C-alpha cells in the first residue's frame, strides 16, 4: 500500500497516517486556501482540522510580535552586540561567529534555541555558550538531541546504531521506502523490520 494522492483523502485521520514533507503540506494548504506559513506541525494540524471541519481554519495561538528592529543581516556585529527578539542566523551572524570561534563553528539547533531564548545577553555570551555546548562532545556517549520534527535525522541515527555494517546510503534507501507506508500520526520511526523493505 503506497501513499494515496491528497485529493483522495477525505478525513484528518486518513491524512495523518501518512508522512508528508513540509513543502507538500504548504502546497496542500495553498490548494485549500489555508495559510501556508508556520512549522511542519502547524501545517499538519491546520490541514487535519480543515479536512474534518469542511475547510474551516484552525484558530491558532499567535506568536508574540517581535519588538526589535535590529538589522541582523547588515549590522556590524561585535562581542558587545545585544541579542534581540528578532535574532537571525543568516550569513552575517554565522560569519561573525566563525570570526570568533573559527571554521569549526556550526549553527546547531541547541545553540540556536539558546540564542532565541536569551534576548538581552550579548554575542560574547553566545560565543561562550557555543563553546560550552561543544564541550559536551568530549563526554563519552554524548549525542545531541534531535528535534521532534526532524524525523529523518532520528531515523538515520537509529538505523546506523542498529546496523553498524551499513552506510548512510542504506539508511536513506530504507527511509525513502518506509516513509511511503502508513504510520501512526505520520511519524516515520526506524524499526529493524525496515531492512525487509
What is the pLDDT confidence band of residue 183, given thresholds at 50, 70 and 90?
A: confident
Provide CB contacts within 8 A for 30, sequence distance 6+: 36
Tens of pLDDT, residue by residue over 154-180, are 899 999 999 999 999 999 999 999 988
Which ranges of 53-196 would DSSP assign to H, the alpha helix?
91-101, 109-116, 123-135, 151-162, 168-178
Q: Does 59 score more than 80 pLDDT?
A: no
Residue 121: DSSP 8-state: S
Lowest mean pLDDT among 30-34, 39-43, 70-74, 84-88: 39-43
Q: Is 146 exposed, middle or buried (0-12, 13-18, 19+ CB in 10 A)?
A: middle
Tens of pLDDT, residue by residue over 116-128, are 999 999 999 999 9
Averaged pLDDT, 125-154: 85
For the whole model, what pTM was predicted?
0.60
Amino acid at each position: 500500500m503506497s501513499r494515496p494522492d491528497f485529493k483522495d483523502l477525505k478525513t484528518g485521520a486518513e491524512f495523518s497516517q501518512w508522512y508528508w514533507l513540509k513543502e507538500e503540506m504548504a502546497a496542500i494548504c495553498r490548494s485549500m486556501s489555508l495559510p501556508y506559513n508556520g512549522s511542519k506541525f502547524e501545517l499538519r494540524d491546520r490541514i487535519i482540522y480543515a479536512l474534518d471541519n469542511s475547510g474551516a481554519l484552525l484558530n491558532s495561538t499567535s506568536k508574540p510580535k517581535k519588538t526589535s528592529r535590529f538589522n541582523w543581516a547588515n549590522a556590524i556585529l561585535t562581542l558587545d552586540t545585544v541579542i534581540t527578539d528578532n535574532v537571525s542566523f543568516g550569513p552575517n551572524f554565522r560569519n561573525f561567529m566563525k570570526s570568533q570561534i573559527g571554521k569549526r563553528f556550526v549553527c546547531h539547533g541547541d545553540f540556536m534555541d539558546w540564542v532565541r531564548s536569551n534576548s538581552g545577553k550579548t554575542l560574547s555570551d553566545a560565543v561562550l555558550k557555543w563553546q560550552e555546548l561543544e564541550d559536551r562532545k568530549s563526554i563519552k556517549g554524548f549525542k545531541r538531541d534531535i528535534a521532534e520534527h526532524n524525523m529523518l535525522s532520528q531515523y538515520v541515527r537509529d538505523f546506523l546504531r542498529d546496523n553498524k555494517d551499513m552506510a548512510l546510503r542504506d539508511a536513506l534507501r530504507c527511509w525513502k521506502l518506509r516513509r511511503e507506508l502508513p504510520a501512526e500520526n505520520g511519524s516515520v520511526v526506524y524499526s529493524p523490520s525496515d531492512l525487509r523493505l
